[in-house]
Chain A
Amino acid sequence: MPSPRYWRAIPSRLRLEAVRCRSCENVVYPSRRICPHCHGTEWDPAELSRTGEVVTSTIVHIAPDDFAMEAPYVLALIETPEGARLMLQVTDCDPEDIGPGTAVNLEFRRIRAEGNSGILCYGFKAVPAG
């Protein structure tokens, strides 16, 4: 896997940079050319809060090879206060405690070591708040 693939994703994946559509004001994450809500093409930068709430979640027992050592782990759809949704792992928790409405903080973490060459992949994981 070539490393430029990761450089491109640094703003969204490592800094949680999103964009706000100038015509409909929806926050879109990650950024894209055309607004999925109103087809607008003018954007302002927006940064996502480091907090959110679980929309739906699962506990993954059979994992892809790169995640095998982490199973079982919680994977969840998280909504931030800006209305953006992200799929993230929820960590540092009892998996059974996670469900719709669980309040979380988003923390910068190592996601995995990819493939045989072990490229370190970083990003955000969710951790239950409080």
Chain B
Amino acid sequence: MREVAIVGVGMTPFGELWNDSLRGMFAQAASAAMADAGADHLDGLYVGNMAGGQFVGQEHLGPLMASQIGMAGIPATRVESACASGGAALRMAFIEVASGMSDLVMAAGVEKMNDGADVTEILATAADQELECYHGATFPALYALIARAHMATYGTTEEEMSWVSVKNHRHGAKNPKAQFPREVTLEQVMASSKVAEPLRLLHCSPVSDGAAAMLLCPLDQAGRYTDRPVKILGTGLATASLSLADRKSPAILDAVKDSAVRAYKMAGVGPTDIQVAEVHDCFAIAEICCIEALGLVEQGKGGAAARDGMTALGGKVPVNTSGGLKSKGHPVGATGIAQAIEIVEQLRGESGDRQVKDAEIGLAQNMGGSGASSVVHILGRV
């Protein structure tokens, strides 16, 4: 297997982008990634997208997006793993370059959620339609069930969950591409309206539009495109049952743990080597469960980590320096790529006010459904 580097990145701002279409956002992010690498060709394209067919009635995104950037003819396909589609697209691109099949491949993600469709119903298609949605489950409800189980098992509190939101908004306030680049107080989070108890509005990531793209090539060719390549040290993908009822414990996200173990093993590093991480905080409880499953904190201590500042900028292991899904926004198919871009920029030393000093190894974890898919990538400065 060849060593693989990320040599160019680009993304749109995240938010309610009423003037931008699905294809337009993709073209904007892809062009920025091409320009960042100074590349004029592509050998392949993977487009991460959860539900273009449902959000805007558009499927078959591989050829559509390739032609939007003047690359009609190249191998191009869409990758779908619900909210983990972006991370899964990155993994596909990695495998294609590592295998020797192609030399310059784009991994992208895009989602247009604000175009009039029923977002709650569409997102729920990532859960078990027959066993969960039939009875009135929504995504916040599924994570609320996880939260209540975590509280009962480990004593996690609503206040600790709220600190996750406060922290991520503090980080996002420093990110010009964030959908909600402003701070929130603990009191505001805890007084926000109830969505599915114990989750309140400010424990939930927003509905967003956006796109993100990155270019991958063999590490030994990276010099053609950049003097600051970032190496992909490891990748891990794991799955669990779609339905919460089929899991041993609803408080534990096994797929996250399994994907992390695979990525750590491939990278030859462990949780204590990670200096900065982007994790899938679609809901505040998700960040808590994920950092535990990733081994960044002890099992059951994820809530305290946010409250005590361990996962804040300046803490032991800053988590979601971009603002996370909570503050930066969560255009579902684009999220996995945007997370990896944040880590790339941290390792390149380009993160400005959000910079983690001397970061050399970072991790991005992207999740689909109520934890049924998880993709972990570990990146390293070259």
Contacts and interface: CB of A to CB of B under 8 A. Distances in A.
Contacts of B146: 56
A100 interface: yes
Contacts of B152: 56, 99-100
Contact of A60 (B118, B131, B138, B244): B138
B134 A62 contact: no
Contacts of A9: 130
B149 A62 contact: no
Given A57-B145, A58-B148, A64-B121, A88 B135 contact: yes
A85 B249 CA distance: 11
A65 B118 CA distance: 9
Contacts of A46: none
B136 A123 contact: no
A77 B121 contact: no
B358 to A, nearest CB: 42
Contacts of A56: 145-146, 148-149, 152, 250-251
A58 B132 contact: no
Interface in B304-326: none
Interface residues of A, number: 34
Contact of A111 (B135, B140, B250): B135
Contacts of B124: 64
Interface in B176-211: 193-199
B217 interface: no
B144 interface: yes
Contact of A86 (B147, B245, B250, B251): B245
What's the dominant secondary structure at chain A's contact region?
strand
B114 interface: no
Contacts of A57: 145, 148
Contacts of A11: none
Contacts of A64: 120-121, 124, 133, 136, 138
Interface in A54-80: 55-67, 70, 72-73, 75-77
Interface in A73-130: 73, 75-77, 85-89, 99-100, 111-112, 121, 123
A73 B196 CA distance: 9
B134 A121 contact: yes
Given A36-B241, A58-B145, A87-B131, A67 B120 contact: no
B141 interface: yes
B40 interface: no
A112 B137 CA distance: 13
A21 to B, nearest CB: 14
A61 B130 CA distance: 21
B196 A60 contact: yes
Nearest to B244: A77
A63 B197 CA distance: 12
Given A9-B130, A61-B194, A85-B245, A55 B135 contact: no
Contacts of B241: 36
B135 A87 contact: yes
Contacts of B118: 65
Interface string B216-254: 000000000000000000000000010111100011000
B135 A36 contact: no
A59 B244 contact: no
Interface in A10-52: 13, 30, 36
Counting chain A CB atoms within 10 Å of each CB, which of B138, B141, B251 scores highest? B141
Interface in B362-377: none
A36 B242 CA distance: 13
Contacts of A72: 194
Given A56-B149, A56-B152, A36 B194 contact: no
A30 to B, nearest CB: 8
Nearest to A67: B136
B271 to A, nearest CB: 27
A55 B250 contact: yes
Contacts of A62: 120, 138, 140, 195-196
B197 A59 contact: yes
Contact of B136 (A30, A55, A75, A99): A75
B138 A63 contact: yes
Given A57-B148, A61-B194, A64-B120, A36 B246 contact: yes
Interface of A: 9, 13, 30, 36, 55-67, 70, 72-73, 75-77, 85-89, 99-100, 111-112, 121, 123
